Homo-oligomer: A and B are copies of this chain.
Amino acid sequence: MIRVPTLFLDVKRCKKNIEKMAAKAKRHGIEFRPHAKTHQSLEISKWFKEVGVTKLTVSSLKMAEYFSEEWIDITVAFPTNILEIQTINKLAKKIQLNLCVENIEVLEFLNDHLEHPLGIFLKIDTGYNRTGIAVDNYKLINTLLLKMSEQKFLTFKGFLAHAGHSYKCRSKEAIEAVHQKSKEQLLLLKNQFKDQYPNLIISLGDTPGCSVSENFSGIDEIRPGNFVFYDLTQNIIGSNDLNEIAVAMACPIVAKHLNRNEIVIYGGGIHFSKDRIEDPENGVVFGRIVEKKGESWGRCVPKMFLKSLSQEHGIVSVPKAIIDDYKIGDLLWILPVHSCMAADLMKELHTADGEVFSMM
């Protein structure tokens, strides 16, 4: 019995999301190296093995350590943190570890401290402007390639980008445009360096682009992560339908305020995170309420949404006509705005069968 906020996983939807993305990668003849930061679960990572996946992406060395129990080829898609050199050496000894580098300081540090071979991706910025080498900064790229060629433990693997500016899109067409622009920029790079490095990989990966596009020509590898669960953010961007969202939080109703058509739930920022979307219809939204249906959940209840969050309280706006359908002690089922953050906070995923998947 559910007594406190609990994050539920719809296993069927999740496996369908995995199969769909794996099929797309296969159809286009590209490597599928899924990002594990959303599910952070060894168990769920095994579902990727079932569809032929052999390589993983993670966002921290801690996560790489966790997944190295099961996976032997892991890319850390985060700028290398040189303070964790001990962990890097430990992992580089155990598995095929690939790191992201974007400056000379890190290469020099690795040269001085590495004890085992590593793969290096140069992190490229195709317009997101979070981090990475500007895609046209050939001078820096050449400097780094030269430096790498002198270092015995470093193997240049290719160019890696995250087109995170796709998160600003609000339609499939806009996502496709960002995806194609990033792809074209990376292919220019590939053409420039392929004679020198014939095996170089172009690795691109964001859930919006990988969900929407059917044009990956020239791309060697994709690394989407969020698609495993999807969420309201991805839906508003245009990546997925609401019925593909594979996680929902069950929250007890603890109070009702009929005068303002609000329900108070046990479920706050420490469960959902404070991530929000701006919904054209409802304004700031922290989650949407779905109908409970069999072992899963059905459609979103129109105009019923999580309007604010404190540490443990959530305030749900409810249409006047249906507020009497909900009683104190009932559970509300809520789609999260950002499934990566909600899963990271909850630390475990429950299924309708009573199974519990522990996370990192």
A residues at B contact (CB < 8 Å): 1-4, 37, 59-60, 62, 78-84, 86-87, 102-103, 105-106, 109, 129-131, 134, 164, 252, 254-257, 259-260, 264, 266, 269-270, 273-275, 308, 310-313, 315, 327-329, 340-341, 344-345
Q: In this complex, what residue of B is CB-closest to A58?
A: B312
Taking A3-B84, A37-B312 as known contacts, 16 extra A-B pairs with beta carbons closer than 8 A to each other, sorted by chain A number, are: A3-B81, A3-B83, A4-B83, A37-B311, A60-B266, A79-B264, A79-B313, A82-B329, A103-B255, A105-B327, A105-B329, A130-B310, A131-B255, A274-B274, A274-B341, A345-B345
State how many angstroms separate the Cβ of A289 from the closest Cβ of chain B: 18
In contact, B59 and A252 (Cβ under 8 angstroms)? no
In contact, B131 and A313 (Cβ under 8 angstroms)? yes
State how many angstroms separate the Cβ of A144 from the closest Cβ of chain B: 13
Complex Cα distance A260/B260, Å? 46
State how many angstroms separate the Cβ of A60 from the closest Cβ of chain B: 6
In contact, B60 and A312 (Cβ under 8 angstroms)? yes
State how many angstroms separate the Cβ of A278 from the closest Cβ of chain B: 14
Complex Cα distance A137/B262, Å? 17
Which residues of chain B are near A102, meaning CB under 8 Å?
255
State how many angstroms separate the Cβ of A175 from the closest Cβ of chain B: 18
